[in-house]
Amino acid sequence: MALQRLTAVFILYSILGYIPSRGVILRTTDKTVWANEFEPIELTCLIESISTNNPRIEWKKIKNGVPSYVYFQNQISGDLEHRAQLIQPANLLILNTSRADTAEYRCEVAAIDDHKHFDEILISLAVRVKPVVPRCSVPVAVTVGTSSELRCLENEGFPASQYRWFRNNEELPQDPKSSPKFINSTYSINADTGGLKFLRMRKEDAGEYYCQAKNEAGHAQCPAQLMEVYDVDIVGIFLKVLAALAGFTIVMVGVYHAHKHGCFSSGKDHTGTNYKPPAADDGVEYAEADEGHFRHKSSFII
């Protein structure tokens, strides 16, 4: 009897075009979503099965394990306020993504009239950030046969930037041996750190160098800088001459101050005349210089 009743109910539902729901069921088109900074992105929360007419829909952002509402009680809130909207039935559209939006987002739907009255789905959002202009370090002058390193770095891009080097507007191949033009070069490029190392500089390595930082969001490059390669260590010679001049200047200043403080006195009195002591006792007793006179020690005959 019960089976006949159940069959009759099923036939009635079929005639009316109504198939009872198994409960609320959600799905998404992509559980891992990438977006470029400042561009829109839509997180899909598709309701495949539901019977409740007005289900409760909520979106939560989970950052570092801490959840916070971004859609609650039929309005956008939290970090996405004024920057997002709900697209029916339950998709979340972020109009202007920022790097701070990188997080996990959970769509939750509650349907009290359904047999299975709750379901949720988790979506991971990663926001790509374009690199900024990298900081480049290029030596002004180097000597043939010496080693040298050029550096390039930027810290804003996400994912982390990869680096490329250019000389005279021509990209340096990652492996110099792969190009006939660079086959005799001794450089190596670290695409992860931005370092360009030369084991032995050649005259042909001279030129204008610049570096480019690149990721999936875009690229940026530093201004070109000239590097010259000399046969003779002109820079070293210049520094040695400069050091010699500095040493000479210090010595002369020392001599001047020593002379000024009387370190080179020759034994002359303040009048500049040489002092000569009396040769012998000639009968005159000399008084001190400040007495201004003399007196007889004994009589003498004119």
Which tops the pLDDT comparison, 106 or 252?
106
Grade residue 241 by pLDDT with cuts at 50, 70 and 90: confident
Which tops the pLDDT comparison, 102 or 112?
102
Burial, 17: exposed, middle or buried (Cβ in 10 Å; 0-12, 13-18, 19+)? exposed
CB 28 within 8 A of CB 45: yes
Amino acid 300: pLDDT = 42
Amino acid 216: pLDDT = 94
pLDDT, tens only, 84-104: 999 988 999 999 999 999 999
Given a cut of 60, is residue 252 above it in pLDDT?
yes
Grade residue 12 by pLDDT with cuts at 50, 70 and 90: very low
CB 97 within 8 A of CB 127: yes
Separation CA 226–CA 206 (nearest Å): 8
Which tops the pLDDT comparison, 281 or 233?
233
Given a cut of 90, is residue 246 above it in pLDDT?
no
Amino acid 234: pLDDT = 63
pLDDT, tens only, 256-279: 777 777 765 554 444 444 555 555
Separation CA 78–CA 68 (nearest Å): 7
Amino acid 270: pLDDT = 47
Given a cut of 70, is residue 290 above it in pLDDT?
no
Amino acid 84: pLDDT = 97
Q: What is the DSSP letter of 267?
A: S
DSSP letters for 172-232: PPSSGGGSTTTTT--EEEETTTTEEEESS--GGG-EEEEEEEEETTEEEEPPPEEEEEESS
Enclosing H/E stretch for 4: helix 2-16
Separation CA 118–CA 169 (nearest Å): 60
CB 90 within 8 A of CB 109: yes
Grade residue 5 by pLDDT with cuts at 50, 70 and 90: very low
Amino acid 74: pLDDT = 92
Q: Which of 132-141, 164-173, 197-206, 235-244 has the lowest mean pLDDT?
A: 235-244
Separation CA 137–CA 152 (nearest Å): 7
What is the amino acid identity at position 42? E
